[in-house]
Amino acid sequence: MEALARKLGLRTDPTIFFISAGIMVVFLVVLLIAPGPIGEAFRAGREWIVTNLGWFFILGVTTWVAFLLWVALSRYGTVRLGGNEAKPAYNNISWFTMLFAGGIGTVLMFWGVAEPISHFSSPPRPDVAPFSVEAADDAMSFSIYHLGLHTWAIFTMPGLAFAYFIYRYNLPMRFSSVFYPLIGDRIYGPVGKTLDIFAVLGTLFGVAVSIGLGTQQINAGLTELFGIPDAVITKVVIITILTTVAVGSIVAGLDSGIKRLSNINIGMAVGLMVFVLFTGSTVFLLRAIVETFGIYITNLLPMAFWNDTLASYSGNDGGWGWQGSWTVFYWAWTVTWSPFIGIFVARISKGRTIREFVLGVLFAPSIFTLVWFAIFGWSAMEIDGIGADARAAMGAQAGALSEAVDESIPLALFAFFEHFPAATLIQGLAVVIVAIFFATSSDSASLVVDMLCTGTPEPGPWHQRVFWGVSEGVLAAMLIVLAGEAGLTALQEVITVVGLPMFILVFTMMFALIRGLAHEDLGGVTVGPPPQPDDL
């Protein structure tokens, strides 16, 4: 393998690189040969997981939120990720835009209208009437629960673990380094390489699902604007074009490519949000933003432990409940991104203290997410009609948006913009923003997958990184082909199955951090050889 890597001009760990690439190719070949059985296997796996282990996903993420807050506010919060004199490489604004654009920018564009409207028309709790004021409050609560603190805890947990062990103890920039306090020098052997290979594959699948969702939304926008068919071949063409853009950013590198794209894109997204605020019901939305903070804080604790336990008695979703399609899917999907976002955030966070890191990564994007959902979600529900009196006064216009979302979730954002000035222009801008979020996610993931293979923060040869960028696009295209008409459902099935083992590994990171921090000398100087498991 080493000879082949040298011949190809690669600068990487040949075992991790070639085995990861080989498994991915084998999966793609099997997918081409037998898409039916593969789809059935993922379907059965997802059903078993959400029925038997949904509670574990929900309790696990809530535990991570509590653990991270404890670490940040404890005496360990002053520990600096790097040498004691290290300074942050990026200012706060650039740091925020990169972690956000590489994180869930595409997700907010996809679900910002669709999720609140979905919960508004089909409330999660059976005792809440659809389209009521109570349904609107619940819709906002669950939407922000899914994409607020809990989602960012899934990113922050591995991000903190990577940053701590990689920068504090000079370990390789690999997934396996996080487990050093538990397995010691075996991180350099077959056990460690197996963990790294799994992280590479999990990242590729997680990003591929996000690319699949983004592609569906771009296709829906192009259908709305230009009548381009909403078909599998169209989505494959979109993936091909945008993967080419992402590859260009990959070649440019972190500072020239990803940082620039991230700053441009977050600016465009903020501009879109401000447009909705000031061309919609501005006073209503300003009041709603403030009120949404209260709704989220009030409902956070009950939501964090709600498991839809009585679903089997209500005949809801075959016994495994509403959360099987929503919360468990979100957590499983997000955790497959955790090596990608974790290493990416660690890479741009060297020099920050644990307290700065945790509070910044947890709260800054969560606050932005809350404001985003307050503006887009409340606007969408107001357009659709909140409460019986409002809907009666609206007549035939009531429920038009919820009907559009029910028909096509990717179309939700574009149907929403039909109710605003310069609709066609804004719909076109939304397509561009989704496309750039697509590119920033893809190029960030390619850089991180390359780091997982090389074990260093420095990028490998450009053709090495391009290989991973192209691989993500091909995998996304094949998942779209497998999904066919039932696109979202099939993507949920794949990612829930892939997410379970990754979830278990990220849960284990908590114990590795506890052992590592217990070794920390808070009196001053600590950076040196990493602690052996027997020393902790």
**Residue 20 confidence class, pLDDT cut points 50, 70, 90:** very high
Please tell me the distance from the alpha carbon of residue 398 to that of residue 170, in angstroms, as a whole number. Answer: 60
- The residue written with tokens 């990242």 in the block is 203
The average pLDDT across 277-300 equals 96
Cα 134 from Cα 129, distance rounded (Å):
8
Structure confidence at residue 193 (pLDDT) = 93
CB count within 10 Å of CB 524 equals: 6
Least confident of 353-367, 399-413, 432-446: 432-446
Residues 488, 489, 494, 500, CA torsion sign: positive
Taking alpha carbons only, the member of 249, 254, 243 closest to residue 214 is: 243
Joined together, the tokens standing for residue 41 give 């296997």
Can you give the pLDDT at residue 524? 46
Structure tokens at 378: 């409340």
Per-residue pLDDT tens digits for 96-148: 777 665 556 677 888 899 999 999 999 988 889 999 999 999 999 999 999 99
Q: Which residues contact 217 (CB under 8 A, 6 or more apart)?
A: 109, 110, 410, 413, 434
pLDDT at position 210: 77
Quickly count: other Cβ atoms within 10 Å of residue 367's Cβ.
13
Three-state secondary structure call for residue 474? helix
Pairwise CA distance, residues 153 & 341, whole Å: 11
The pLDDT, as a whole number, for residue 158 is 94
Q: Which residues of 44-76 are buried (b: 16+ CB within 10 A; e: fewer)?
A: ebbbebbbebbebbbebbbebbebbeebbeeeb
- Which residues, other chains included, contact 83 with Cβ-Cβ below 8 Å and sequence gap of 6+? 527
151-210 pLDDT, tens digit each = 999 999 999 999 999 888 888 888 999 999 999 999 999 999 999 998 898 888 888 877
The full DSSP string for 143-178 is: HHHHHSHHHHHHHHHHHHHHHHHHHHS---SSGGGG
Q: What is the pLDDT of residues 454-499, one digit of tens each?
A: 887 776 787 888 888 888 888 888 877 776 555 556 666 777 888 8
Q: Give backbone dihedrals phi and psi of 59, rounded to 5 degrees, phi first.
A: -65, -40
Q: Compute CA 205 distance to the chain's CA centroid, rounded to the nearest angstrom.
A: 12
Average pLDDT over residues 502-506: 93
Average pLDDT across the chain, whole number: 84
387: its two tokens: 């409460």
Provide mean pLDDT across the span 238-256.
Answer: 74
Rg (CA), the chain: 23
CB of 52 within 8 A of CB of 320? no
Residues 80-94, mean pLDDT to the nearest whole number: 81
Least confident stretch, 7-16, 129-138, 282-291: 7-16
Half-sphere exposure of 300 (CA within 13 A, CB side): 18
Q: Which helix (H) or strand (E) holds 11?
A: none
Per-residue confidence (pLDDT) for residue 62, from 0 to 100: 97
pTM of the full structure? 0.88
pLDDT at 526: 45
Lowest mean pLDDT of 57-61, 308-312, 322-326, name the range. Answer: 308-312
Cβ pair 375, 289 in contact under 8 A? yes
**Looking at the DSSP assignment, which residues form a beta bridge with residue 353?**
80
Query: Which residues have C-beta within 8 Å of that of residue 79, sequence separation ≥ 6?
Result: 164, 168, 353, 354, 517, 520, 522, 526
Query: What is the model's pLDDT at position 227?
Result: 87
What pLDDT sits at residue 535?
Answer: 47
pLDDT at residue 97, as a whole number: 72
**Residue 16: phi, psi to the nearest 5?**
-65, -45
List the one residue out of 343, 67, 13 whose CA is nearest residue 178. Answer: 343
Write the CA distances from 17 to 42, 44, 94, 299, 472, integer angstroms. 26, 30, 31, 45, 14
* Per-residue model confidence (pLDDT) at position 486: 53
DSSP-based three-state secondary structure for 29 = helix
Closest by Cα among 66, 91, 86 to 150: 66
Q: Alpha-carbon distance 506 to 133, whole Å?
A: 38
Average pLDDT over residues 35-60: 86
Q: What is the pLDDT of residue 255?
A: 53
| Lowest-pLDDT range of 33-42, 219-228, 255-264 | 255-264
Q: What is the pLDDT of residue 196?
A: 93
pLDDT of residue 302: 93
Would you state the pLDDT for residue 320?
59
What is the percentage of the chain residues whose pLDDT exceeds 90?
Answer: 37
Q: 140 and 146 in contact (C-beta within 8 Å)?
A: no
Query: Bigger pLDDT: 132 or 522?
Result: 132
In contact, 344 and 335? CB cutoff 8 Å: no
For 272, residues 6+ apart whose C-beta sits below 8 A from its C-beta are 426, 429, 430, 433
213 touches 488 (CB < 8 A): yes
Q: What is the pLDDT of residue 348?
A: 84
Question: Does residue 529 surpass a pLDDT of 60?
Answer: no
Of 241, 234, 376, 320, the residue nearest 496 (C-alpha) = 320
Structural domains for the chain: 2-517 (1.20.1740)
- Top-ranked range on mean pLDDT: pick from 205-214, 300-309, 441-450: 300-309
